Each structure stands twice: as C-alpha cells, then as structure tokens.
Structure 1
Amino acid sequence: MLSGTTYSQLNIFNAIATEGSITKAAKKLEIAPPSVSNALKALEQQLGLPLFVRTTRRIELTEAGKRLHQSTFATMHELAVAVESVSDLSKAPSGKLRITTPRFVYQHWLKPIYHEFCQRYGDIELEISVSDATINILEEGFDLGLRFGDKVEPGMIARPLTAPMREALFVSPEYQKQNGIPQSFEDLRQHKQIRYRFISSNQLAPLQLDNHGQTITVEFPNSMVVNDTDLMIDASLNGLGIGRIVEPIVADQLANGSLIPVLEPYWPTYSGIYVYFHQNTQKAKRVRVLIDFLLEKFSQTAK
C-alpha cells in the first residue's frame, strides 16, 4: 500500500527526473532544496538502489531510475488529477493553471481575451508561457498547450479552436518597387526570402506551395533567417525579402496595403489552432473552465 510519505517521495523523484536537477525540482515544487535531497535519499534507501548518477552538468537517471520514472510518472499525474477532480465538486475553480502557446497565437488570439478569463475566475492563478518550441506539456508541467494541428502524443486530446488557414507570402511596397513581384515558381529564384528556423529542431522551415493540389517545395536565396514570428513580419515590412506566416496574422497589413500578397493562388492550407491536454487533466475544474472559455472565445472570433 502506498503511504503518504512514499507518495511525496515519488512526486519529488519525478520532479527531479523531469527538471534534471535538485535545485530546479525544488523551485518547481516550491520547497527547499535540502528537503528534496533528503526525500530522494530516503527513497533510494527504501529501494536499496541509486536512482541518479551525477554528471558535470546535471544528474542522470540510472537504469533503476528510468524504470521507476516510466512506471510512476503518468500514474502520479492521474492520481493527483483524480483527487483534485473530487475536491472540485464542492468549490469554485481555483489553483494554478499553466498554458504554453506560440508567440503568434498569443499575440493574435490569446492577448485580447486572457484578462477576461482572469477576471471571471479570480481564484485561478493563470501562468502563460510564450514559446515557439515544441513542448511535451506533461513532462514540462503544463496543463494545456496551443498549437497547429491535432497530431498529439498518446494519452492527449486535441480540440480545434480555429478553422484551417492558409500560409501567406508577402512583400512590402518598397520591396516591390525595387525588385518587382514574382509571378511564377521560377521567378522566385530571382528574389530573396526571410526564412524561419524552428527553435526545437534548429531546422529551417521549407517553403511548400500548393500547385493545384500538389505540394511543391521551392528553394531560393535567403536574405535573413529568424526564429520569431514578430521579427518575420517586421523584416518583411522593412523590405528585406519575401516573408511568410499564416494569413490571419497579417490580414490587416494585407488589407491596408502595407504588405502585398505574393503568388496567392499557390498559398498552402494548414490545420487550424488546437488546444491540447492530457485526457485526465480535463477532469480538473480549473482546466475544464479554461478549455470551455477558449472554445467560447475562439468561436466568437470566427464569426
């Protein structure tokens, strides 16, 4: 039978495993580092096996530690959510709630509405992490995430927030004046693009266009490489090359002429924005009300 002490020790052990250090685990759990160290020692003594080995930069799981982490991490999360969901029956939504979102999703969709959620649910402490990196929300301690597409890890659920959207290509009037606008794939070779680099993989995003249902990957020179969507738009407005981003983000600039569409008939269509979360996490009232809030607000935006 799992005692309260062992449960606490396993919770601390999994925090160390995911954070990679005792100090970071202590910070995440909001307890003193010596308490984390003592709990780990007690668990190792109980098991009779070391769970970590120290390296120069971090502590690494031993084989026994890996097996224990794989066996208990998801179960501990499910148990915590189960207890919280029962406790929720008698009270208003409350507690800490962490969500991760790409910058452009925050700027365009989340920024105008998050304050209303905080005002509606004053007992919830909302934490918004803005990052373009690909994040495993369970391992990183997030309750929900926002991103393109519904392809998620096993045990996760994805709910659509927007319809599919096109990726727009565009230039500034100044760029058009100096270089003209390409009218075909072949013309692109005489131009330069502002290229996006993915933060997590460090790979450059390929330019893929839709040629009557056939996906065509086009290569042409780069004028600049960025890993931030705001910088992509700014560099385009400053005439540094052909930029690209999903159409809703630059709809106003395309409408007022500060950006000019390029090869619009060939813009590819991508999956919309989804909110994703662990299948058990939605049982917690604090998580459920945010999911419902996002579905409500995004549907209003689409009208």
Structure 2
Amino acid sequence: MDRSELGDLAVFLVVAQELNFTRAAARLSTSQSSVSQTIRRLEARLGVRLLARTTRRMATTEAGERLLETVRPAFGNIEAKLSELSEMRQKPAGSVRITASKHAAEGILWPTVSRLLLEYPDIKVEISSDSALTDIVTDRFDAGVRLGEQIDRDMIAVRIGPDLRMIVVGSPSYLARSPAITRPHDLTRHACINVRLPSSGALYVWEFHHQGRDLNVRVDGPLTFNNMRMVQQAAVEGFGLAFISEDVAQEQLRSGELVQVLDEWCPFFSGYHLYFPSRRQQSPAFTLLVEALRKNVDASFSGAKWRPA
C-alpha cells in the first residue's frame, strides 16, 4: 500500500462518519470536490461501491460498512500510538473530546478542566453539552458523562460525582395559595412545570420512591421547557412546582426563594460517571483528566450536601 492509498482510506473514514461531503471537507480542511474525487478513486481501485448517494442523503453500502469496520480500529490504534509519544514530552499534551449533559458539564467537568488547563496548558479539551444519549464511538468522542443508570454495559464507567436526587420545589407564594402536598398524587391538583426530553420528545414523568414503593406521576401545568434553568426560574417566580436536581437548587433553598416538599418521596440515585469504550487505548491527556475527576469524587463526599464547584 502506498501513501496515497492510506490517505484515501483516511478520507473515506471521515466521509463515512459524517455522511456528508461538505462536513467531511471542512474536517479535512479541503474542498468538497477533492473529497468526492478521492472517494470515486478509492471505489474504482477496489471495484466496489462504498457509498450510496442520492440528492438528499448518503449511506454506506454493505462493502462500505465492511471497510469501515476494518479502517476505524486501525486508524484508532494509530492515533493512540501517536498520543503515546506525548509521554516523552516534559509536559503532557493532547486533545480530549467529551460529551455531557449541561448539568454535568457546568457542575463537574468545567471546574475540573479549568484547573487542569492551568497546570497543563498544552492539553486541549472539547466539551459538547447535549442532553441526548450520544453514541461516543460513532461521533468520535473520547468519553461521555452520564448518570450511572444510563451507561451501556460494554463501557468502562468511572464514578466522578456523588449520588444525586430530584426534588419537588415551589416558591413560598405559590405554596401559600395552593392545596397542601403530602403525597405525590396531590401533584395532580397543582400547576407543575413540565420538561420536554430531548431524546424522545416526551414529557418527563416525575419519579418517586418511598418504603420500597415506586410511583410515577404525569403532571400538568401551564409551562413546558427543555431548559432546566428556565424551569427553576419559573418556580422561583411562582408559576408552579418544579422537579429539579437538589444540588442546583441549594442557593434558592437557603435563601427561602424555594421550598422543598415531598422530601421523603425523593430518593438518591447513582450520580455522574465518565464512560468510554473498553477496547480504546487512552491518551496521556485523557488519563490526566480521568484522575483529576476521580479526585473530585472524594472531595465532593466530604460535605453533607453535594454542590458543584
């Protein structure tokens, strides 16, 4: 195999990941016509069609999928070996791409990354905030951050935060003018602020547990958001009850802007974990970030209440 063939395979890998010539050309810092020409040359050399193309969409053919299964791990190993060379430098370097929910990105990842970059300025970190469950292999992320219960079993999971819980809160003014709340079923008589899930598009069902009993309640109210900070603000302004993470409500709970109800029905659940493929060899930059996040776990458990840094 000569150098041009290796280069063509690298171009094919990017096109197969993006399934779009324009986006692939942008990633490769070249023109769309050059990418298209490379794919045609590779298909002619192999004698098979690798991509099925129409005016609206693109998809890999069966032959393209087989080639992708061979090329992806091979180039992944090359990238890993090149990253290992940074260990020979006096200061570790390299790039890390991570996908996380907005809550995890702001409360756990960013405080750790900001401190890490001060110590290791040659490290580059990309954080993509997305509430959907991203396929980190397909989208070429080094790792993702999600709640422990949402992680696939074929991934390595590293705990990077304590247990969390969702709580029901309302403003003093709203609670003063509304019926008493002693059990979750009472919520059906209240104005509740709904959350639209980004992955399914459905409304989030409020989940409770008490004395071995699970109870899910579908709530109703005048407002629906897909942004938790807006949910919280609407609750502070008295528009209804909200079901939000306890850690983000601490300031308003201490100041009295929000009041918690149904405390005994709101259990803790497995907190945030960093997850990544078990077969992938990690770079020194990634290893440093994992260790820094692990150290934060011990620090977060030192207090009675968890608050992001």
Question: Under a length normalisation based on structure 1, what TM-score does the superposition of the two structures give?
Answer: 0.90
Query: 1:45-70 deviations in whole A, cap 9, x for unaligned?
Result: 12111111223333222222223223
The amino acid that maps onto 1:88 is: S
Which deviates further from its counterpart, 123-132 or 33-42?
Answer: 33-42
Give the equivalent residue in structure 2 for 1:65.
64
Which deviates further from its counterpart, 283-292 or 100-109?
Answer: 100-109
Query: How much does 1:199 deviate?
Result: 0.9
**1:222 and 1:78, CA in 2 relative to 1: closer, same or farther beyond 3 A?**
farther
Does residue 88 of the first structure (1) align with residue 94 of the second (2)? no
The amino acid that maps onto 1:47 is: L
Give the equivalent residue in structure 2 for 1:270.
269
The amino acid that maps onto 1:269 is: F
Q: Please say if residues 143 and 277 of structure 1, whose CA atoms lie closer than 8 Å, have aligned partners that are also in contact.
A: yes
> Alignment partner of 1:165: what SS?
coil
> Alignment partner of 2:204: what SS?
coil
Distance in 1 of aligned mates of 2:142 and 2:212: 37
Distance in 2 of aligned mates of 1:155 and 1:187: 41
Q: Please say if residues 77 and 281 of structure 2, whose CA atoms lie closer than 8 Å, have aligned partners that are also in contact.
A: no
**1:58 and 1:224, CA in 2 relative to 1: closer, same or farther beyond 3 A?**
same
Distance in 1 of aligned mates of 2:197 and 2:9: 35
Structure 2 unmatched runs, 5+ = 303-309
Query: How much does 1:151 deviate?
Result: 4.7
Q: Please say if residues 181 and 262 of structure 1, whose CA atoms lie closer than 8 Å, have aligned partners that are also in contact.
A: no
**1:135 and 1:262, CA in 2 relative to 1: closer, same or farther beyond 3 A?**
same
**1:41 and 1:225, CA in 2 relative to 1: closer, same or farther beyond 3 A?**
same
The amino acid that maps onto 1:166 is: R
**1:155 and 1:34, CA in 2 relative to 1: closer, same or farther beyond 3 A?**
farther
Q: Please say if residues 112 and 292 of structure 2, whose CA atoms lie closer than 8 Å, have aligned partners that are also in contact.
A: no
Give the equivalent residue in structure 2 for 1:236.
235
**1:261 and 1:282, CA in 2 relative to 1: closer, same or farther beyond 3 A?**
farther
**1:162 and 1:282, CA in 2 relative to 1: closer, same or farther beyond 3 A?**
farther
Give the equivalent residue in structure 2 for 1:140.
139
**1:115 and 1:196, CA in 2 relative to 1: closer, same or farther beyond 3 A?**
same
Query: How much does 1:4 deviate?
Result: 4.2
- What is the RMSD of the two structures over their aligned residues, measured on CA atoms? 2.2
Query: 1:161-211 deviations in whole A, cap 9, x for unaligned?
Result: 122222111111221122144112332121122122221221222111102
Query: How much does 1:280 deviate?
Result: 4.5
Query: How much does 1:115 deviate?
Result: 1.9
Q: Please say if residues 179 and 189 of structure 2, whose CA atoms lie closer than 8 Å, have aligned partners that are also in contact.
A: no
Give the equivalent residue in structure 2 for 1:129.
128
Does residue 25 of the first structure (1) align with residue 24 of the second (2)? yes
The amino acid that maps onto 2:296 is: K
Give the equivalent residue in structure 1 for 2:256.
257
Taking the TM superposition and a 5 Å limit, the aligned residue runs for 1:28-177 are 28-85=27-84, 87-91=85-89, 92-149=91-148, 151-153=150-152, 155-177=154-176
Query: How much does 1:111 deviate?
Result: 3.5
**1:201 and 1:3, CA in 2 relative to 1: closer, same or farther beyond 3 A?**
farther
Query: How much does 1:155 deviate?
Result: 4.8
> Alignment partner of 1:127: what SS?
strand
Give the equivalent residue in structure 2 for 1:203.
202
Q: Please say if residues 82 and 283 of structure 1, whose CA atoms lie closer than 8 Å, have aligned partners that are also in contact.
A: no
Question: Under a length normalisation based on structure 2, what TM-score does the superposition of the two structures give?
Answer: 0.88
Give the equivalent residue in structure 1 for 2:305.
none
Query: How much does 1:154 deviate?
Result: 6.0
> Alignment partner of 1:290: what SS?
helix
Q: Please say if residues 81 and 280 of structure 1, whose CA atoms lie closer than 8 Å, have aligned partners that are also in contact.
A: no
The amino acid that maps onto 2:96 is: L
Fraction of identical pairs, as percent = 28
The amino acid that maps onto 2:131 is: D
Distance in 2 of aligned mates of 1:225 and 1:8: 49
The amino acid that maps onto 1:258 is: E
Q: Please say if residues 165 and 245 of structure 2, whose CA atoms lie closer than 8 Å, have aligned partners that are also in contact.
A: yes
Q: Please say if residues 168 and 267 of structure 1, whose CA atoms lie closer than 8 Å, have aligned partners that are also in contact.
A: yes
Give the equivalent residue in structure 2 for 1:224.
223
Query: 1:25-44 deviations in whole A, cap 9, x for unaligned?
Result: 12233344333223322221
Query: How much does 1:148 deviate?
Result: 0.7
Structure 1 unmatched runs, 5+ = none
**1:80 and 1:111, CA in 2 relative to 1: closer, same or farther beyond 3 A?**
closer
Query: How much does 1:225 deviate?
Result: 1.6
